[in-house]
């Protein structure tokens, strides 16, 4: 491994991975390849901007020429694919871009990697491919039962990766991360949305009864997990990166309000997300056996996250303008208008 192309490296988890790799492996060249969609942000990479072992190329993973040219120009031998449309609510409003990037884009990336003779291909996937897990913990051999257009597109992309391993003998590995939170997360997902809204004393739209369960993983632990699987994962295998921190949504919201010193009267119960999975839960034994161990629990990770958003309003205030406000209105205006204070 010498020249690693990190697709989607200007997003939330991808940028944490880039920052980690640039610092940890000065002898690797890290090339961030990102389309810079609404979720991509070069300010996430400010700390590695002048690093001699990092460079940036703007491009779309579904664009054969752009992908091929970057692989050739940098003599890429390894690809780590974070690039995706990632927000479940947006996938419900309009699935189109999800199919294009998360399925067709993955295929283009695989095909360009194969024809250029790239070595290891790590694909970043999600616990949402398993669908709703009413009890117990998903293991890697469990079937895929995705329920949202986002999850179905991620499952489809992952199956393409599997097929390139089986059919063409490509050296692939897959990570399936659980709900991730931390610094530089775009303020549309639960934790950064609620922190930034609460900081402005605005109502917090909890879907349904707030009793859905998610498993929370701190972003740097996710990035380190991808590093461990990249270096030590067995070819053709998938690895669950689980935070093993299962919480009801409403408990996360209450904890955030307590950390922010804001009142619970900001909570509003709004009509539920259609097809809303009640519970995700994964078993992380396989990744642990490779040497991965998460360092943060919610007890340490959540205060770090809250503090970062308190101290970095310059970062998120710029985002909460223009297209963001349009999306916010479409997603929340009617819901908040019919909201209730109690379940």
The residues assigned a catalytic role are 127-128, 150
Site string for ligand NAD, 312-331 (x = CB under 6 A): --------------------
> Does the footprint of ligand NAD cover residue 243 (CB under 6 A)?
no
Burial call 102-141: b when 16+ CB within 10 Å, e when fewer: bbbbbbbbbbbbeeeebebbbbbbbbbbbbbbeeebbebe
Q: Which does 154 bind (CB under 5 to 8 A by kind): ligand TYD, ligand NAD, none?
A: ligand NAD
Query: What string of DSSP letters covers 214-238?
Result: EEEEEHHHHHHHHHHHHHHPPTT-E
> Does the footprint of ligand NAD cover residue 212 (CB under 6 A)?
no
Three-state DSSP state, 181: strand
In the complex, least distance from residue 126 CB atom to ligand TYD, rounded to whole angstroms: 8
Residue from 4, 5, 6, 7 touching ligand NAD (CB under 6 A): that is 7
Residue from 29, 70, 91, 101 touching ligand NAD (CB under 6 A): that is 101
In the complex, least distance from residue 40 CB atom to ligand TYD, rounded to whole angstroms: 18
In the complex, least distance from residue 226 CB atom to ligand NAD, rounded to whole angstroms: 9
Nearest to 28 by CA among 256, 231, 238: 231
Tokens at 251, concatenated: 């408990």
Residue 258 CA to its chain's centroid (Å): 26
> Does the footprint of ligand NAD cover residue 296 (CB under 6 A)?
no
In the complex, least distance from residue 194 CB atom to ligand TYD, rounded to whole angstroms: 7
Tokens at 40, concatenated: 């991509």
State the helix-helix crossing angle for 190-199 and 298-311, rounded to 10 degrees: 50
Please identify, using beta-carbon distances, which residue of 43 and 336 lies nearer to ligand NAD.
43
> Does the footprint of ligand NAD cover residue 126 (CB under 6 A)?
yes
Instruction: Give the H/E segment covering residue 187.
Output: none
Please identify, using beta-carbon distances, which residue of 100 and 114 lies nearer to ligand NAD.
100
Tokens at 31, concatenated: 């090339």
CB atoms within 10 A of CB 82: 28
Site string for ligand NAD, 177-196 (x = CB under 6 A): x-xx-----x----------
Please identify, using beta-carbon distances, which residue of 125 and 268 lies nearer to ligand NAD.
125
Instruction: Give the H/E segment covering residue 175.
Output: strand 172-177
Q: Which does 205 bind (CB under 5 to 8 A by kind): ligand TYD, ligand NAD, none?
A: ligand TYD
From edge to edge, which strands make up the β-sheet containing 179-181? Answer: 179-181, 213-218, 246-248
In the complex, least distance from residue 342 CB atom to ligand NAD, rounded to whole angstroms: 29
- Binding part of the chain for ligand NAD, among 12-20, 133-141, 199-207, 249-257 by CB under 6 A, reads 12-20
Residues interacting with ligand TYD, by CB under 6 A? 88, 179, 189-190, 193, 205-207, 212, 214, 249, 273
- Binding part of the chain for ligand NAD, among 172-180, 203-211, 259-267, 315-323 by CB under 6 A, reads 172-180
SS (HEC) of 50-116: CCCCEEEEECCCCCHHHHHHHHHHCCCCEEEECCCCCCHHHHHHCCHHHHHHHHHHHHHHHHHHHHH
Distance CA 9, CA 19 (A): 9
> Does the footprint of ligand NAD cover residue 84 (CB under 6 A)?
yes
Q: Which does 138 bind (CB under 5 to 8 A by kind): ligand TYD, ligand NAD, none?
A: none
């Amino acid at each position: 491994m010498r020249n690693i192309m990190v697709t989607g490296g200007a997003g939330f988890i991808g940028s944490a991975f880039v920052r980690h790799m640039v610092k940890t492996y000065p002898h690797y060249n890290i090339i961030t390849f990102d389309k810079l969609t609404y979720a991509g942000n070069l300010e996430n990479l400010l700390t590695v901007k002048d690093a001699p072992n990092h460079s940036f190329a703007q491009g779309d993973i579904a664009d054969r020429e752009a992908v091929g040219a970057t692989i050739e120009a940098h003599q890429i031998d390894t690809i780590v694919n974070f690039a995706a449309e990632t927000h479940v609510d947006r996938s419900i409003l309009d699935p189109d871009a999800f199919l294009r990037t998360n399925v067709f884009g993955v295929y283009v990336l695989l095909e360009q990697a194969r024809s250029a003779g790239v070595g290891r291909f790590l694909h970043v996937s999600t616990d949402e491919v398993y669908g709703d897990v009413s009890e117990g913990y998903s293991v890697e051999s469990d079937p895929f039962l995705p329920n949202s257009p986002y999850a179905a597109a991620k499952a489809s992309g992952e199956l393409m990766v599997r097929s390139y391993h089986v059919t063409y003998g490509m050296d692939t590995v897959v990570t399936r991360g659980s709900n991730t939170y931390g610094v530089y997360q775009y303020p549309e997902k639960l934790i950064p949305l609620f922190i930034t809204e609460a900081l402005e004393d605005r109502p917090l739209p909890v879907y349904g009864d707030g009793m859905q369960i998610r498993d929370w993983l701190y972003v740097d632990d996710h990035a380190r997990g991808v590093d461990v699987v990249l270096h030590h994962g067995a070819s053709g295998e998938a690895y669950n990166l689980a935070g093993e921190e299962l919480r009801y949504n409403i408990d996360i919201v209450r904890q955030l309000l307590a950390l922010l010193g804001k009142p619970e009267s900001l909570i509003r119960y709004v009509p539920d997300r259609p097809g809303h999975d009640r519970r995700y839960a994964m078993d992380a034994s396989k990744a642990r056996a490779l040497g991965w161990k998460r360092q943060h629990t919610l007890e340490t990770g959540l205060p770090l996250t809250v503090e970062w958003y308190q101290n970095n309003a310059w970062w998120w205030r710029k985002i909460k303008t223009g297209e963001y406000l349009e999306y916010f209105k479409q997603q929340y205006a009617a819901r908040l208008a019919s909201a209730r204070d109690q379940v």
